Amino acid sequence: FQVDGQFGQWSDWIASTPCGQGIKRRTRKCDSPAPINGGKRCKGNKFQFKGIYNLSCPGNNFLYVI
């Protein structure tokens, strides 16, 4: 019998930088259940991204202009 795939839970967010500006991302897998016997793959995004802005860096009181 066919089983269509379903996404599992999102992972925790992982930041590209510990402070300042950057991006954060999280992932999920098509494994709850995974498709078997010709079942459909999961539809939707496996990744999510968000911008990170204005996170203060400890001990950094400088303004950088690039």
The reported pTM is 0.72
Residue indicated by tokens 């995004």: 45
Domain boundaries, the chain: 14-55
* Nearest alpha carbon to residue 32 among 10, 14, 54: 10
The whole-number average pLDDT for the span 27-55 is 94
What band does 61 get if pLDDT is binned at 50, 70 and 90? Answer: low
Distance CA 55, CA 23 (A): 11
